[in-house]
Amino acid sequence: MVLICGIDEARRGPVLSVMVMCGAMIEEKDMPKLIKLKPKDSKLLTKEEREELYPKLLSVLKYYKVIIMQPDEIDKAVKGGDGLNLNKLEAHKQAEILNEFNPDKAIIDCPSNNIKNYRIFLKKLIKNKKIELVLEHKAERYPLVAAASIIAKVTGDREIEILKKQIGIDFGSGYMSDPKTVEFLKNNFENYPELFRKSWLPYQELVNKKFQKSLSDFSSFLKEEQKHKSHTIEDLRKLEELGFHLEKPKSEHELAIMKGPCTVILYKNGKLLIQGNEDAKKSVEKLLNI
């Protein structure tokens, strides 16, 4: 009995929600049954076609395993947590499937441009070094990998629909090519931070834009305040709307201390001292012309 495993992922690119990996294993003698179903890359099928194929594929497979990766796990890998990156995270999940299934042969859609190095990395994670590894780009041309692609995609789509029902908002597909997703990200990146991949550029751009706006508003407020001869703690309380909070002065010469993206100390003589993260400090100093 020869066992063959096909592995593929779905939802690698969206800014929102999960990435899904699927391992589909079949006995070689049952491959004609799979081929008869004519599975192909899930991206080339409509949602209805995928849903129709899904139970038929499961009926001819010996085993299948789905691994769902949440945004926080993806972000950790992208940021280099545990020495990973997104490709290495995929390799670890592929190895998890192969170590459980222990097939004779595995056909894998390779996410890396450097297939040779990826093979070396993946092989280190696999317990059975005798597994024949076939690593290719666009490996969905193999029916078994196409089947894994469809199962992963259907699983991911269903996860998205569950999220929409939970929050009561139709945010679209989760991809930035979808206007609904773009609008949802813009209006809700702070309301539902757990849904987003914070390491993705669209999310980071919104966070940075808000931070810069806060600094700009802060600058404008302080410049306006400097026109007056005296300041009060109540004046500075306006900064609380920008994420700052008031703390007790540490000396008799200080009028107020505000903590936020940086620390701002307002002295009784009207002078300001800005302390904190070097990048934030430089941004504030530049904006305030200090």
Helices (H) and strands (E) in the chain, counts: 10, 9
Please tell me the predicted confidence (pLDDT) of residue 99: 98
105-109/132-136 β-pairing: parallel
One pLDDT digit (tens) per residue for the chain, 290 residues: 899 999 999 999 999 999 999 999 999 999 999 999 999 999 899 999 999 999 999 999 999 999 999 999 999 998 887 778 999 999 999 999 999 999 999 999 999 999 999 999 999 999 999 999 999 999 999 999 999 999 999 999 999 999 999 999 999 999 989 999 999 998 998 899 999 999 888 888 887 776 566 555 555 555 555 554 455 555 556 556 556 677 777 887 777 787 877 787 877 776 767 787 776 566 545 544 55
Please tell me the predicted confidence (pLDDT) of residue 256: 77
- Whether the CB-CB separation of 245 and 258 falls below 8 Å is answered with yes
Separation of alpha carbons 176 and 92, rounded Å? 27
Please tell me the predicted confidence (pLDDT) of residue 11: 95
Please tell me the predicted confidence (pLDDT) of residue 229: 45
245-247/254-259 β-pairing: antiparallel
Please tell me the predicted confidence (pLDDT) of residue 236: 54
Q: Which residue has the tokens 């990395």?
A: 121
The reported pTM is 0.72
